[in-house]
Structure 1
């Protein structure tokens, strides 16, 4: 997530950046439905169709990672995979770099995908099966993907980034130990074309939409994509499923998800043994992103920010509960 100082609504900034694209002026009213987390997202319309402006400070992102994300999305669309569509700017650019009074920003625009977010459905077996099927198809396409111009970072790059953040923060011995444990563990796992590739990383219910008409899923938000074992995506998806399904129904829904997945892609059973380590990776990555976000404090913080900080610190505690334990 972005540092807390970037989590404020700034519709003037959004409108200035959006000026690089065609848009319906009256649709600026939709800016009130903005959200800010890893990026700022502002909805608007162009020729009556809903689109989304996504931007973030250049200091918070790597240009090559964003370009590689956009390349991967274009590849998936070329393979008729259900994924969001990039909208080019007035100058024909997918990624715009903007100098503003508030600093330098990266920005892109995407069309709205068809369907309903999975967490707003009844999560019946057909939907769960298609959720798994969509992830299996993504991994099948990823296994064949060879980037031409830009390449996303890998799990190892992420762990190096984590180490570099932690090394400058006092009292993070256990988190540093966890980083080393995970690096050593994953370095011992053989990488093959069939088990490793560019993953979504955040294949959760708020990023997957079920389209009733086509009986298929459309996927958004590849901002966290990285090279990792495919099972990492499975772990994240199942963890999200667990949050939405009763405990007594989880095993049946998990099997339904995996049945859908295997219609498109087959992972060896031994890969599933990586699930606990993948959960540890997700917890560590989430912990450090929050740590970096909340590190700085200001005088007279608004009540919502104080409340958010308390919530995030509680989340950090939960994520760090297994740090340093044997994998």
Structure 2
């Protein structure tokens, strides 16, 4: 999540950046449908087709991560996997670093994928099996992936980043304890090409689109990809499903999702047994991201920002419930 100061709508900045690509001038009214979280995303059209401008401050991102994200997407697409497609700029570049009056920004444009987010449709058993299959396909390809550029960061890099952030928050004692627990436990887990590799990390319903006309899924938002255990992706996906379906139905959905996954790539029961540990990793990472994002406070904040802070505080409280508990 970007720092809160970057969550404000900035049409002038978006227009300045989009001019590096071809676009339909009248389509900039679509900027009204922007969204900002880990990146700012502004839709527009080129030759009548919807595209998405994604940008973020240079200070908020690691350039090598962005380069490797795009390399992984190219690899997946070259192997027939339905990841979103980038659009080259006027000077034939995928990723731009642009100097603006608001600072330096990374910018990239993607084609909009077909279909509707899984969170917006009837998430039935058939869709759930597909959801699992497409994650299995992703991990199968990842297990064979040899990056042409510098590697994406790993869970170890994330833990080092967390430690660096927490060094500026002396009251986060339990959070530091949680970091220590995970650093001690995670290296003990089985780590080979069938259990560990480059994962999506955010394979949730909102990042998967279903196209009813072709009965296929498309995958977006590889911005959080990292080297981790493949079961981390399964945990994140199942957590997303649990938030969308009834409690009684969830356990059936869980089995169907894993069955679909195993049709494409094997995961052992042992690795699945570690998912509560991976949930703790996700909770810690999410907590620290919110902590950093919301640390700066201003006088006379707008009502929407005050409401957002309340929601973020609630999210942090939920994520931190198990912090410091011994992993056995």
TM-score by length of structure 2 reads 0.99
- Residue 107 of structure 1 aligns with which residue? 107
Counterpart Cα distance in 1 of 2:189 and 2:115: 38
- Residue 190 of structure 2 aligns with which residue? 190
Cα deviation for residue 106 of structure 1 reads 0.2
Q: State the secondary structure of the residue aligned to 1:248.
A: helix
- Residue 219 of structure 1 aligns with which residue? 219
Residue 245 (structure 2) pairs with residue 245 (structure 1): yes
Residue 33 (structure 2) pairs with residue 33 (structure 1): yes
Cα deviation for residue 267 of structure 1 reads 1.0
Counterpart Cα distance in 2 of 1:172 and 1:314: 16
8 Å CA contact 1:42–1:53 kept in 2: the answer is: yes
Cα deviation for residue 246 of structure 1 reads 0.3
List structure 1 segments (4+ residues) > 2 angstroms apart after TM superposition: none
Counterpart Cα distance in 1 of 2:300 and 2:294: 15
- Residue 21 of structure 1 aligns with which residue? 21
Counterpart Cα distance in 2 of 1:83 and 1:112: 11
- Residue 57 of structure 2 aligns with which residue? 57
Deviates most, 114-123 or 135-144? 114-123
Question: 1:108-155 CA deviation, whole Å, 9 max, x = no partner?
Answer: 000011111001110111111101000000000000001011210000
Q: State the secondary structure of the residue aligned to 1:266.
A: coil
Q: State the secondary structure of the residue aligned to 1:244.
A: coil
Q: State the secondary structure of the residue aligned to 1:198.
A: strand
Residue 47 (structure 2) pairs with residue 68 (structure 1): no
8 Å CA contact 1:87–1:94 kept in 2: the answer is: yes
RMSD: 0.7
TM-score by length of structure 1 reads 0.99
Question: 1:168-220 CA deviation, whole Å, 9 max, x = no partner?
Answer: 11200110110111011111113100000000000000000112222221100
Q: State the secondary structure of the residue aligned to 1:257.
A: helix
Q: State the secondary structure of the residue aligned to 2:243.
A: helix
Deviates most, 44-53 or 207-216? 207-216
Question: 1:21-56 CA deviation, whole Å, 9 max, x = no partner?
Answer: 000000000000000000000000000000000000
Cα deviation for residue 270 of structure 1 reads 0.7
- Residue 154 of structure 1 aligns with which residue? 154
- Residue 273 of structure 2 aligns with which residue? 273
- Structure 2 unaligned blocks of 5 or more: none
Counterpart Cα distance in 1 of 2:271 and 2:159: 20
- Residue 175 of structure 2 aligns with which residue? 175
- Structure 1 unaligned blocks of 5 or more: none
Q: State the secondary structure of the residue aligned to 1:28.
A: helix
8 Å CA contact 1:167–1:176 kept in 2: the answer is: no
Residue 207 (structure 2) pairs with residue 230 (structure 1): no
8 Å CA contact 1:31–1:43 kept in 2: the answer is: yes
Cα deviation for residue 251 of structure 1 reads 0.9
Residue 101 (structure 2) pairs with residue 119 (structure 1): no
Counterpart Cα distance in 1 of 2:49 and 2:216: 21
Q: State the secondary structure of the residue aligned to 1:315.
A: helix
Cα deviation for residue 223 of structure 1 reads 0.3
Counterpart Cα distance in 2 of 1:45 and 1:150: 32
